[in-house]
Structure 1
Amino acid sequence: MRCPGQDSRFWKPGAIFEAKCPQCGQSVEFFKDETSRKCARCGHKFVNPRMDFGCAAYCKFADQCLGDLPPELLAQRENLLKDRVAVEMKKNFGRDFKRIAHAGRVARYAEKLAVPVGADPAVVLIAALLHEVTPNGTPDPASTKAKELLFRLGARPDLVDEVCAVIDAIAHSSGQGSLNEQCLRDAHRLAELEEIVAKHPEEAEFQRETMSKDFLTETARSLAERLMRGEKV
């Protein structure tokens, strides 16, 4: 059975429409299930402006259903997946608001660091949300729970492998590792520093001397300095 959203038998008026080429203004006809079209006048290929890819964030048949997604839509798909991962993380922790808040802080810093550091934003942010997803006292590693959750959400196998590799590395290795690992390590340290500054500012001052050694990237050191000055980052 084909997805009703992409099956023309279920289409309503407006399923075939025209959109202006953003390059030259020529009208280009779209079918609602087309991911992109090429302008007949100037040859510019652009994304279907009305297509909703919300289901592609978690549906395991998205690639077969929608075909080869343009890079812009692959990015959108991963952004939607990250939102769903955040929801699942909160469900997993239940009423453990302290751990939810910590994971959220780590993810916030991971998002700030990823691009400047050269890491993969999708991998690092998802790993940040799930790096402590296994409840305390559970013998299974966090990567096992993360893998189960991500496959349930229909994440790409290569993305799942990369996320779990970063989570495992953070848990079992103290080296610098890949850029993704460095980004997550620094994000975790920044989250901890924020918590210390908020609760024990006098203790945070003692960390200033070791700060340059604690952080692996210049971007993280810069953010840490701002935190120490009491700035909102």
Structure 2
Amino acid sequence: MKCPGQDTLYWKPGAIYEVPCPECCASVEFFKDDTARKCPKCGHRFVNPNLDFGCAAYCQYAEQCIGTLPEEFLLQKEDLLKDRVAIEMKRYFRGDFKRIGHATRVARYAERIGRAEGSNPAVVLCAAYLHDIGIVEAEKKYGSSEARYQEQEGPAVARDILERLGAKPPLVEEVCDIVGHHHHPRETETLNFKVLYDADWIANLEDRKKENGLTSEKVESIVNEKFLTESGRAEARKTLL
């Protein structure tokens, strides 16, 4: 049985369309499930700009379903995974909007810092969405959301989510490692960890500032002492000061 999105029986008007070649502007006809086509005029091969790669980011049968995936898509595939991870994080926390909001803000700051530092966006953003995922189990088992319990329980939950979404083993291992010690940097750390760590500090300081009026002097002191990247410090000052 074909995926309904790829079965021509379910296609609607507009499933076959023309796209201008990015090299010579000649019209190239695409079926909606074509991954890529070659321009008949200049020979340039390019990815179908209207193809929905959403399911292919996590479906283990994607290659059999839509054919050999083009190189351009493979470069984007892990980045698309973060969107599925964000959805799973929200499902896991259910109605806990405070924790969903915190993870979302950490991801936003991590994306900015990571872009400036040149980190791996797939690892950083998956770790950002999942860094506190151990809180639920920690509260069940120990009646506490203390950092050490979060770090103890988080990797197993994160691993289950990532593996269900078809993430590659190296990404799973790195994200789980970050989740397992995200409050406690080691003597030597990866850039991806540093970006997540600084982003989490910004979100936490933001909360503390709202709750108890943390002074600008105290914020500056923490930023100088605790942060691990220059881009993280710059983002913190921009956001908090």
Q: TM-score under structure 1 normalisation? A: 0.84
Q: What letter is aligned with 1:224?
A: A
Residue in 1 that maps onto 2:235: 223
Moved more, 140-149 or 10-19: 10-19
The number of equivalent residue pairs is 229
Q: TM-score under structure 2 normalisation? A: 0.82
SS in 2 for 1:59: coil
| TM-superposed deviation, 1:18 | 2.9
Matches within 5 A, 1:55-94: 55-74=55-74, 77-94=77-94
Instruction: Go from structure 1 to structure 2 and tell me whether the alpha carbon gap of 1:67 and 1:115 turns closer, same or farther (over 3 Å shift).
Output: farther
Q: What letter is aligned with 1:186?
A: D
Q: What letter is aligned with 2:182?
A: I
Matches within 5 A, 1:202-213: 202-203=214-215, 205-213=217-225
1:162 and 2:142 matched: no
Instruction: Go from structure 1 to structure 2 and tell me whether the alpha carbon gap of 1:187 and 1:68 turns closer, same or farther (over 3 Å shift).
Output: farther
Moved more, 125-134 or 171-180: 171-180
Question: Deviation string for 1:85-135 (max 9, x for gaps)?
Answer: 222212212233322222122111111111111111111111111111121
| TM-superposed deviation, 1:212 | 1.6
| TM-superposed deviation, 1:194 | 1.3
Over the matched positions of the two proteins, sequence identity in percent amounts to 50
Q: Is the 8 A contact 1:128 1:184 kept in 2?
A: yes
| TM-superposed deviation, 1:144 | 0.9
Unaligned runs of 5+ in 2: 142-148
Moved more, 20-29 or 148-157: 148-157
Instruction: Go from structure 1 to structure 2 and tell me whether the alpha carbon gap of 1:182 and 1:71 turns closer, same or farther (over 3 Å shift).
Output: farther
Instruction: Go from structure 1 to structure 2 and tell me whether the alpha carbon gap of 1:171 and 1:202 turns closer, same or farther (over 3 Å shift).
Output: closer
Instruction: Go from structure 1 to structure 2 and tell me whether the alpha carbon gap of 1:68 and 1:161 turns closer, same or farther (over 3 Å shift).
Output: farther
Q: Is the 8 A contact 2:109 2:235 kept in 1?
A: no
| TM-superposed deviation, 1:185 | 0.8
Alpha-carbon distance in 2 for matches of 1:94, 1:16: 40
Alpha-carbon distance in 2 for matches of 1:96, 1:164: 22
Residue in 1 that maps onto 2:158: 146
SS in 2 for 1:37: strand
Alpha-carbon distance in 2 for matches of 1:32, 1:147: 34
Instruction: Go from structure 1 to structure 2 and tell me whether the alpha carbon gap of 1:216 and 1:203 turns closer, same or farther (over 3 Å shift).
Output: same
1:123 and 2:123 matched: yes
Matches within 5 A, 1:167-186: 167-170=179-182, 173-186=185-198
SS in 2 for 1:64: helix
Moved more, 11-20 or 207-216: 11-20
Instruction: Go from structure 1 to structure 2 and tell me whether the alpha carbon gap of 1:12 and 1:91 turns closer, same or farther (over 3 Å shift).
Output: closer
Q: What letter is aligned with 1:22?
A: P
Q: Is the 8 A contact 2:183 2:197 kept in 1?
A: no
Q: What letter is aligned with 1:100?
A: I
Alpha-carbon distance in 2 for matches of 1:93, 1:14: 39
Q: What letter is aligned with 2:198?
A: D
Unaligned runs of 5+ in 1: none
SS in 2 for 1:95: coil
Q: Is the 8 A contact 1:124 1:184 kept in 2?
A: yes
Q: Is the 8 A contact 2:103 2:129 kept in 1?
A: yes
Q: What letter is aligned with 2:102?
A: H
